[in-house]
């Protein structure tokens, strides 16, 4: 079966500001496919090239080279046909703050070709979907950040796209709004919509995705199902130990000398926790406890964290996802 989305050697190089040098290579030879009805997440730190990729796929930015084919149409040759198939939820809030939620939807709906009863019906439906029908007459400038994000999503859904691009849709929102947005993404997918979701939050990609592409410095460095990526990179369990704040430095000094530890970093509000990675996974724990006990140092809490996409990224790049 032909993939719904095919990206072939997509590249974007921005020219140098002073006219000298090679400029900035934002995306380099990116190739991947997305199946119809799939939630595909592009995961990577800020500046990895995720938004640039979305902008090229949606026709907002011309690629330096390469091609994007959606529903059988090439974006460089049939941009209007592609735009009928896609909805875009940008990272920025793209709304008129002085207008009401409904007035914003009516305005953008007309730009998408909706009129009359069809426009009114779709405004009602998307307002119901995002849970803001009772607030539709209120101005956007009075809304919370999470409510603005939900209206932002509604705009991208007005014309019933087959594929929706969601670029970091939970940035800057409270936990409840974030949960509402994630549940909305799941519901859209259950209705048959294909979703391309970009995020730098590992837990979002893990919860939502059928498959994940990991980007770093403009390149796709891994792509596949989560379980396959974990197996391919051979990441193991992480061990998290909690200490009194004044004990952390000593614990670090002891653990750094253990040859089987591959990574060690502080976390927690006070830096009172040490996250330990080892090629031996949880089997390293008895040796770690013994080494600490030899120095009369005992952690107050122990946690085993199963392999996840954060660990995959660390294994592939040598640094944490949010560095």
Residues 29 and 132 placed together within one structural domain of the fold: yes
Which of 186, 208, 231 finishes a domain? 231
In a domain, 173, yes or no: yes
* 82 in Cβ contact with 71 (< 8 Å): yes
In a domain, 198, yes or no: yes
**Which stretches of the chain score pLDDT less than 70?**
1, 322-323
User: Tell me, what's the pLDDT at 310?
Assistant: 86
Tokens 């199946």 -> residue: 35
User: What's phi and psi for 210, nearest 5 deg?
Assistant: -80, -45
Residues 45 and 32 placed together within one structural domain of the fold: yes
Rounded Cα distance between 113 and 109, Å, is 6
In a domain, 268, yes or no: yes
How many domains, in total, are found in the chain? 2
Residues 286 and 145 placed together within one structural domain of the fold: no
In a domain, 321, yes or no: no
Neighbour count for residue 306 (Cβ, 10 Å): 12
The one-character DSSP state at 16 is: P
In a domain, 318, yes or no: no
Residues 137 and 250 placed together within one structural domain of the fold: no
Q: Which of 53, 1, 46 is nearest to 223 (CA)?
A: 53
In a domain, 29, yes or no: yes
Residues 48 and 80 placed together within one structural domain of the fold: yes
Q: Which domain holds residue 270?
A: 236-306
Q: Which of 17, 75, 72, 25 is nearest to 47 (CA)?
A: 25
* 106 in Cβ contact with 112 (< 8 Å): no
* 165 in Cβ contact with 59 (< 8 Å): no
CA atoms within 13 A on the CB side of 283: 4
In a domain, 126, yes or no: yes
Strand ranges inside 145-210, DSSP E = 163-167, 194-199
CA 236 to chain centre: 23
Which of 231, 254, 276 finishes a domain? 231
User: Tell me, what's the pLDDT at 317?
Assistant: 84
* 243 in Cβ contact with 300 (< 8 Å): yes
Model pTM above 0.85: yes
Residues 245 and 220 placed together within one structural domain of the fold: no
Residues 260 and 167 placed together within one structural domain of the fold: no
Distance from first CA to last CA of the chain, Å, rounded?
A: 39
In a domain, 71, yes or no: yes
Residues 14 and 69 placed together within one structural domain of the fold: yes
Task: Read off the CATH number of the domain in which 293 is found.
Answer: 3.30.70.920
User: Tell me, what's the pLDDT at 62?
Assistant: 95
User: Tell me, what's the pLDDT at 323?
Assistant: 56
Residues 193 and 253 placed together within one structural domain of the fold: no
User: What's phi and psi for 180, nearest 5 deg?
Assistant: -60, -40
Residues 152 and 261 placed together within one structural domain of the fold: no
pLDDT tens track for 254-288: 999 999 998 898 988 878 899 998 888 889 999 99
Which of 231, 251, 276 finishes a domain? 231
* 146 in Cβ contact with 170 (< 8 Å): no
Residues 150 and 267 placed together within one structural domain of the fold: no
Residues 80 and 188 placed together within one structural domain of the fold: yes
User: What's phi and psi for 223, nearest 5 deg?
Assistant: -155, 135
């Amino acid at each position: 079966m032909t993939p719904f989305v095919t990206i072939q050697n997509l590249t974007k190089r921005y020219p140098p500001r002073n006219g000298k040098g090679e400029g900035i290579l934002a995306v380099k030879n990116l190739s991947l496919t997305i199946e119809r009805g799939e939630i595909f997440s592009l995961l990577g730190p800020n500046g990895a090239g995720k938004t640039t990729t979305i902008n090229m796929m949606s026709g907002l930015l011309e690629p330096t080279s390469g091609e994007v084919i959606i529903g059988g149409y090439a974006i460089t040759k049939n941009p209007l046909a592609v735009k009928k198939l896609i909805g875009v939820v940008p990272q920025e809030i793209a709304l008129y703050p002085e207008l009401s939620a409904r007035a914003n939807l009516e305005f953008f709906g007309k730009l998408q070709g909706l009129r009359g009863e069809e426009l009114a019906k779709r405004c009602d439906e998307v307002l119901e979907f995002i849970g803001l029908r009772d607030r539709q007459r209120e101005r956007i400038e009075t809304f919370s950040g999470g409510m603005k994000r939900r209206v932002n999503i509604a705009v991208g859904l007005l014309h019933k796209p087959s594929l929706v691009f969601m670029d970091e849709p939970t940035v800057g929102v409270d936990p409840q709004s974030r949960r509402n947005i994630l549940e909305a993404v799941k519901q859209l997918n259950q209705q048959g919509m294909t979703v391309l979701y970009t995020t730098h939050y590992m837990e979002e990609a893990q919860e939502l995705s059928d498959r994940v592409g990991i980007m770093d410095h403009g390149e796709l460095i891994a792509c596949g199902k989560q379980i396959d990526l974990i197996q391919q990179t051979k990441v193991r369990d992480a061990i998290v130990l909690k200490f009194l704040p004044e004990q952390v430095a000593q614990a670090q000094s002891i653990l750094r000398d253990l040859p089987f530890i591959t990574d060690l970093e502080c976390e927690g509000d006070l830096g009172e926790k040490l996250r330990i990675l080892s090629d031996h996974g949880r089997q390293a724990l008895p040796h770690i406890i013994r080494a600490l006990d030899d120095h009369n140092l005992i952690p107050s809490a122990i946690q085993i964290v199963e392999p996840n996409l954060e660990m995959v990224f660390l294994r592939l790049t040598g640094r944490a996802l949010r560095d």
